[in-house]
Amino acid sequence: MPSRRELVCAAALVGFSVRGMAAEAATRIPGWGTLTFPLPDNWRVQRSADSPPSLTLGPDRGQRFEVKILPFTSPQPGIPPSTPESLSGQANANAKYRARDAEEAVISVLQFRTADAFGYYYSFTDKAPKPREFRYFTEGLAQIAGYPILFVVSSEHASPELVTTVLKVLQQGRRA
């Protein structure tokens, strides 16, 4: 018989949504466990993949956006990918690279930190989006419940509220 956690995860994966952040989305990371995130009201899992592990979240209705969460491992054997220094350095390098195609001349990297999570993120506007592509982006690197992730928030409209909600979701991520 499935456990309560398995039932909640299964319900989240088929788009189950309840008030607040009671529903969850999860991605299984081989050899580590499951990384679980609360789902805000009116959000659903659009896609979940095992290889590579990833989650794509979006709205049930309303403004179109997409949140991708991708756990990753170090590209260099023996070097931990998720120290504050390594994530900050990579986020700054990524922001500098993104500035080439952004409306903003300089893209600032911001930090968030809680007891179980820390990360670095930056936002930018695509200066030449193609039709039906997103124009506004927030990207970042973080360590959530001891595991490093990359996250990308894509939207049609600038939305500081959406970014704030995504950061709250990430900060509440846990290992299950």
Total-model pTM: 0.82
Q: Give me 106's structure tokens.
A: 């300089």
CATH of 4-175 given 3.40.50.300, 3.30.70.890, 2.60.120.1690, 3.30.360.10: 2.60.120.1690
What is the C-alpha to C-alpha distance for residues 59 and 45, in angstroms, rounded to an integer? 9
Enter the DSSP assignment of 158: -
List the chain domain ranges.
4-175
Q: Among 108, 107, 91, 79, which residue's Cα sits nearest to residue 142? A: 91
pLDDT in tens, the chain (176 residues): 333 333 333 333 333 333 356 699 998 888 888 999 999 999 999 988 877 889 999 999 888 999 999 988 655 555 555 789 989 999 999 999 999 999 999 999 999 999 889 999 999 999 999 999 999 999 999 999 888 999 999 999 999 999 999 999 999 999 88
Q: What is the torsion angle, in degrees rounded to the nearest 10, for the CA atoms of residue 95, residue 67, residue 53 and residue 102?
A: -20
Contacts of 100 (CB under 8 A, 6+ apart): none
Cβ atoms of 56 and 66 closer than 8 Å: yes
- The pLDDT score that the predictor gives to residue 80 is 55
